[in-house]
Structure 1
Amino acid sequence: MYSLTSIMDEGVNVLHFPVVTKELAERLEQSEIDYMTSRVLAIKEREGNPMGALVQPFGEATAYYVKEMPWGSFNTVKGIGAGEIDLIDEMIQFYRERSRPFQVEIIPSKANGDLFNCLAGHGFHQAGFHTTLYGIPSVDKPSNPDGITVRELNEDEFELYGRLHCLGTGLNVDGAGHVADNNRVLFNRPGWRFFIGYVDDQPAGVAVMYINNNIASLTFAATIPEFRRRGLQSAFLNQRIYEAALAGCELIVGQAAYASTSQNNMERAGLRIGYTRATWLGK
């Protein structure tokens, strides 16, 4: 499917990476759309839709809205390109009816001057970049530093998951129950895998992976502050890369803030930069 490039080690081909093409970039983007759609639909399908979640297509783009989760990542348009220029007014109206500012995410292969000019004309401005990385699953069993262990989360441990998620991301732990509920609904949904990490036998962090169409998406990982810089994030990465290989995946995909510690950890684990997308914000 892809043109391949090899990493050479003393004359031996040890890895084969697909080179970045428009086709690959859009497959990487689609993997992110797939996991976000699965996540928000699962939240929407909770009895009575208490979080007020919606998924709305606009041409080839997908808009996400979660009333009780005002963060940009849950109120965003993904997959937009020049083909959706005529739908931007409808997107704006969709969020305006819900009194919610939103962001638009644009990957390089879908970007052009007409799209940027249209967004600027509607009062949008570019506010940042975000990196998407990709890699090849490895069948090498992870070897963790002393004191670090990773295992899959059990279904009855989502209260613990919610607390670790909040502590690891800086959210108020008073919201741990809501985080637990919004992730518990994913546990038996096809493709979702949850992991918990320990440092010196203490629960220290959590990580999540979503598998669909032979791609493993590294959707989330966090370590609580007092256990950082011990190697748990690298252990989470290596465990999920290994599990993706066991599941027969072709690719691993992750996202991180540009030049962040998360991006650095992914690169050290063997992932490469696929593209850096632009984030545009409305008024």
Structure 2
Amino acid sequence: MVNEALADTLEKSEIHYMTDRMNAIGERTGNPEGIEIKRVADCVAFYSKTMPWGLFNNVKGLVQEADIPELLQFYRERERDFEFHIIPSKANRSVLQALHRAGFYQSAFHTSLYCESREVVFDDHEEISVRELSADELDTYAEIHCLGTGLSLNGKEAVAENNRVLFIRPNWRYYIGFYRNAPAAVAVMHMEEGVASLTFAATLPQYRQQGLQTRLLQRRINDAYLNGCKLVVGQCTYCSASHRNMERVGMRIGYTRATWSKA
């Protein structure tokens, strides 16, 4: 059942994979994406010079009122807008009031779902197949990543390079899904401390609503079980197609966190 300890585990899984992802990207020669990670008491601030999106510029963990000035200064020095990601069990009235006084407002919600790992009997669907991605398919992965998320293919090379450094790390798994033998979808999983995080998934627009993401979810839940992970965690937009797919395979809501952005 959902409780504060489980909520803390769900949040830590997201912090773990983001830390590993950002560290790996930052270890590329010359740190071309300008990655920095700053720890302030019980929270973590992520920053990227070249990737301005909130995904790469945010604060996670337990934020105390006394931490806010140091966090604001960190991003101010880098001239970067950023987000606070606050889960319900760590929401504190004085902190939220302090964020409001600093010019932040709650701009969005984001949902974390979970389930126990288990052996999965895959749905029969002769038109769909899923397997782990091979190293020589990272360009294909990057193309599906871009087109499946609405990014320009101009960023394909950067996506490929940022994922190439993750691909070789032992706690990451990459998957590719085929529809009638055509590359159609991708997914990623990170495993740490007995928890598997479903960190990314995308399907090419022309292959959506064919069951690819359901199969990729089932494969990752099964692989988490085979690799000794007891819990599987994923994040998505509330009531999105991803949300429905996760519930379809037995995942349920752990919490819906608040995103606080600069007004």
Q: Which residue of 2 aligns with 1:14?
A: none
Alignment match of 1:166 (pick from 124, 128, 146):
146
The Cα shift of 1:198 comes to 0.4
**Aligned residue for 1:11?**
none
Distance in 1 (alpha carbons) for counterparts of 2:224 and 2:14: 16
Specify the alignment match of 1:42 in structure 2: 24
Q: Deviations over 1:48-91 (max 9, x none)?
A: 0001011111111000011111111100001133xx21111111
Tell me, yes or no, if structure 1 residue 85 matches structure 2 residue 85: no
Q: Which residue of 1 aligns with 2:199?
A: 219
Higher RCO, 1 or 2 (CA under 8 Å, sep at least 6)? 2
The answer as to 2:47 corresponding to 1:65 is: yes
Q: State the match for 1:244 in structure 2.
A: 224
Separation in 2, partners of 1:144, 1:108: 39
Residue of structure 1 in register with 2:213 after alignment: 233
Counterpart Cα distance in 2 of 1:256 and 1:140: 22
Give the structure 2 partner of residue 269 of structure 1. Answer: 249
The answer as to whether partners of 1:80 and 1:105 remain within 8 angstroms in 2 is no
Contact 2:122–2:215 under 8 Å retained in 1: yes
Cα distance between partner residues in 2 of 1:202 and 1:51: 32
Q: How much does 1:256 deviate?
A: 0.5
Unaligned runs of 5+ in 1: 1-18
SS in 2 for 1:73: coil
d(CA) in 1 for partners of 2:21, 2:57: 13
Aligned partner of residue 194 in structure 1, secondary structure: strand
CA deviation after TM superposition for structure 1 residue 144, in Å: 4.3
1:145, CA displacement in angstroms?
Answer: 2.1
Match of 1:126?
106
2:181 paired residue number = 201
Deviation digits for residues 218-259 of structure 1 (CA, Å, limit 9, x no counterpart)? 000000100001000101100100101111111000000111
For residues 84 and 6 of structure 2, the distance between their equivalents in structure 1, rounded to whole angstroms, comes to 21
Query: Within 1, Cα distance between the matches of 2:147 and 2:155?
Result: 10
Work out the CA distance in 2 between the residues paired with 1:48 and 1:112.
Answer: 39
In structure 1, the partner of 2:121 is: 141
| Partners of 1:183 and 1:140 in 2: CA distance | 27
Check the 8 A contact 1:106/1:278 in 2, yes or no.
yes
> Within 5 A, what are the aligned runs for 1:18-29?
19-29=1-11
- Hey, what's the Cα distance between the residues in 1 that align with 2:27 and 2:125? 40
Report sequence identity in percent.
Answer: 51
**Residues 120, 219 of structure 2: 8 Å contact kept:** no
1:67, 1:147 → 2: CA distance?
A: 42
Per-residue deviation, 1:140: 2.4
Matches of 1:258 and 1:59, distance apart in 2: 30
- Could you tell me which residue of structure 1 aligns to residue 166 of structure 2? 186
Q: Is the 8 A contact 1:53 1:66 kept in 2?
A: yes
Q: Given that residues 144 and 235 in structure 1 are in contact (C-alpha distance below 8 angstroms), is that contact kept between their aligned partners in structure 2?
A: no
Give the counterpart letter for 2:96 in structure 1.
Answer: F
Partner secondary structure for residue 186 of structure 1:
helix
Q: In the alignment, is the contact (CA less than 8 A) between 1:56 and 1:63 conserved in 2?
A: yes
